[in-house]
Amino acid sequence: MNQWLMYINGEWVQARSGERYELINPADRSVAGTAPHGGAEDTARAIEAAQAAFKGWAGLPAKERAGYLNRLADLLEQHKEVLAGLITLEMGKPLAEARGEVAISADYLRWNAGEAVRSYGKVIPSSSADKRLLSIRQAVGPVAAITPWNFPLSMAARKIGPALAAGCTIVLKPALQTPGAAVKFFELAEEAGIPAGVMNLVTGDPKAIGDKLLTHPAIRKITFTGSTAVGKQLMKSAADQVKKVSMELGGHAPLIVFEDADLEQAVAGAMNSKFRNAGQTCICANRIYVQRQVADKFMEMFKAAVEKLVIGDGRAEETTIGPVIDEKALHKIQSQVEDAVSKGARIVTGGKPIGSLPGNFFEPTILHGVDQTMTISQEETFGPVAPIFLFDTEEEAISQANHSVYGLAAYFYTKDLGRTIRVYEALEYGIIGCNDAVPTAVQGPFGGVKESGTGREGGPDSLADFLETKFVSIRI
């Protein structure tokens, strides 16, 4: 059984309290390992280590920092099977998806290594003959990163990559349920030779760790991926010391199928977007809007595809959909389905937890005749339930799709170029997939608008959130 430790100032340590907690495999509810139940004191030590290491790390030539990140990316790829196995063990996604997560994590590190050496400043024309003006960009300082359980490795890589590339040091708090992939990641960082104190890992009590990260003056930036509710609390606390914040929060993605869409492509996209990670991604299609003329055909094809999913333990190679994270998640999904049915929705397939399997399994489900009065139309589902809404006009589809406090990802399927442009301009979302349900790419800026967050990760400006601009005026 895995007995994880925390990594502080280059040493593998227990929590000061000596307390540990158990990790549960969602596929069979067995104990998958244990981890230190760290708290405020451990976090303070990690912050102090990050603070002490900051000057040296930020002072390295960017090329050297990039070298470390590239070495770490190579090591991630060399240990792909171990990392993927840990992701699946602790959070349940099928191994094929976990391997994909390792691959994109390595890509995030490489992308940011590339950006490290292109972190340009500016020479600015002055209005006085005796002055020269310029701006330079410098690392913000030690950073706190807090990550969720649904992508335990790639969310850490997407933060550690740009932070280290920019010259920041970091304290990472992974989700309580999934520290394993992060621990292995840090072991590989040690092997890559990243100096002590540059990367620190604290597991355990979210409130105690979070409060310390937010109140310690050495931490200059919080980068968070998780729910909108927790993100709002963190933003409020960060305001006290005016710490910089990047927030990757919840989503409630619409996927619109217009009457002229390639239905095979649309069904494949809906399957991929809705059922990947058992519906537990922030960019999952949570509301599927189908134009009335093609609704029957779409439903027939979609139902057939959903019924082909192979449910089971993610460690079995044939599994295409795994469990949800815990029993609380199962209950939330079930209550959304019951609410929709009580208000007139019809279950086309699925609809209930799978009692015959030992883990947290919910049947892949399609709900037909869903409308805006139902909870599922407003609340993030985070489960394998696809609600279908019908619409008649383009304007109606856009208006319904935008009817959400969230604004992370949105998708639509059409072959009409004019409509493509009208719709992507009108959708109030940070990420748009046009005939593409898998838009995530290291080259693309990832992030949301409205209550889905602030800041972008990845893309050509991926270091920007980890840098301060300093203006220099020189009288000659």
**Terminal C-alpha separation, the chain:** 66
Contact code string over 275-314 relative to ligand NAP, x by CB under 6 A: -------x--------------------------------
- Name the one range near ligand NAP by CB under 6 A: 31-39, 148-156, 338-346, 360-368: 148-156
Cα–Cα nearest to 47, from 221, 192, 184, 194:
221
Based on CB atoms, which residue is closest to ligand NAP, 23 or 408? 408
What's the number of CA atoms in the CB half-sphere (13 Å) around residue 142?
A: 26
Based on CB atoms, which residue is closest to ligand NAP, 213 or 311? 213
- Name the one range near ligand NAP by CB under 6 A: 12-20, 203-211, 265-273, 388-396: 203-211
In angstroms, give the least distance from the CB of 377 to ligand NAP.
16
> Contact 247/224 with Cβ under 8 angstroms?
yes
Q: Does 230 participate in binding ligand NAP (rule CB under 6 A)?
A: yes
Angstrom CA distances, 124 to 127, 269, 306, 476, stand at 10, 47, 57, 15
In angstroms, give the least distance from the CB of 119 to ligand NAP.
23
Pairing of strands 31-36, 122-124: unpaired
Q: Where are the beta strands (DSSP E) in 373-444?
A: 385-391, 406-407, 409-413, 431-434
Under 8 Å CB-to-CB from 328, ≥6 apart: which residues? none
Would you state the structure tokens that stand for residue 259, as one six-digit string? Answer: 């009457």
> Contact 435/419 with Cβ under 8 angstroms?
no
Based on CB atoms, which residue is closest to ligand NAP, 92 or 148? 148
- Name the one range near ligand NAP by CB under 6 A: 118-126, 242-250, 291-299, 340-348: 242-250
> Which run of H or E residues covers position 46?
helix 40-59
DSSP count for the chain of H helices, then E strands? 13, 23
In angstroms, give the least distance from the CB of 184 to ligand NAP.
17
Q: Does 108 participate in binding ligand NAP (rule CB under 6 A)?
A: no
Q: Where are the beta strands (DSSP E) in 71-214?
A: 122-124, 131-139, 143-146, 170-173, 199-201
Q: Does 146 participate in binding ligand NAP (rule CB under 6 A)?
A: yes
Q: Does 161 participate in binding ligand NAP (rule CB under 6 A)?
A: no
Radius of gyration of the chain (CA): 23
Q: Which of 4, 68, 149, 258 binds ligand NAP (CB under 6 A)?
A: 149
Q: How many Å apart are CA 5 and CA 37, to the nearest integer?
A: 10
Q: How many Å apart are CA 417 and CA 293, to the nearest integer?
A: 20
* Span 210-229, contacts to ligand NAP by CB under 6 A: 210, 225-227
* Span 431-460, contacts to ligand NAP by CB under 6 A: 448, 453
Residue whose CB is nearest to ligand NAP in the complex, by number:
210
In angstroms, give the least distance from the CB of 230 to ligand NAP.
3
In angstroms, give the least distance from the CB of 346 to ligand NAP.
27
- Exactly one of 248, 363, 394, 457 is catalytic; name it: 248
In angstroms, give the least distance from the CB of 138 to ligand NAP.
26
- Name the one range near ligand NAP by CB under 6 A: 131-139, 206-214, 345-353, 418-426: 206-214
Q: How many Å apart are CA 90 and CA 177, to the nearest integer?
A: 7
> Is 318 a residue of the active site?
no
Contact code string over 45-74 relative to ligand NAP, x by CB under 6 A: ------------------------------
Q: Does 383 participate in binding ligand NAP (rule CB under 6 A)?
A: no
Q: Does 35 participate in binding ligand NAP (rule CB under 6 A)?
A: no
What's the number of CA atoms in the CB half-sphere (13 Å) around residue 379?
A: 17
Would you state the structure tokens that stand for residue 70, as one six-digit string? Answer: 């590239």
In angstroms, give the least distance from the CB of 228 to ligand NAP.
6
Q: Does 248 participate in binding ligand NAP (rule CB under 6 A)?
A: yes
Q: Does 250 participate in binding ligand NAP (rule CB under 6 A)?
A: yes
Q: Does 148 participate in binding ligand NAP (rule CB under 6 A)?
A: yes
Q: Which of 13, 133, 134, 176 binds ligand NAP (CB under 6 A)?
A: 176
Q: How many Å apart are CA 324 and CA 114, to the nearest integer?
A: 36
> Is 168 a residue of the active site?
no
Q: Which of 121, 206, 358, 369 binds ligand NAP (CB under 6 A)?
A: 206
Under 8 Å CB-to-CB from 322, ≥6 apart: which residues? 26, 27, 88, 92, 93, 94, 278, 311, 312, 313, 314
- Name the one range near ligand NAP by CB under 6 A: 36-44, 124-132, 168-176, 364-372: 168-176
Q: Does 151 participate in binding ligand NAP (rule CB under 6 A)?
A: yes
Q: Which residues of 136-174 are buried (b: 16+ CB within 10 A; e: fewer)?
A: ebebbbbbbbbbbbbbbbbbbbbbbbbbbbbbbbbbbbb
- Exactly one of 115, 282, 363, 451 is catalytic; name it: 282
Contact residues toward ligand NAP (CB under 6 A) are 146-151, 173, 175-176, 206-207, 210, 225-227, 230, 233, 248-251, 282, 380, 408, 448, 453
Q: Would you name the residues annotated as active-site residues? A: 248, 282
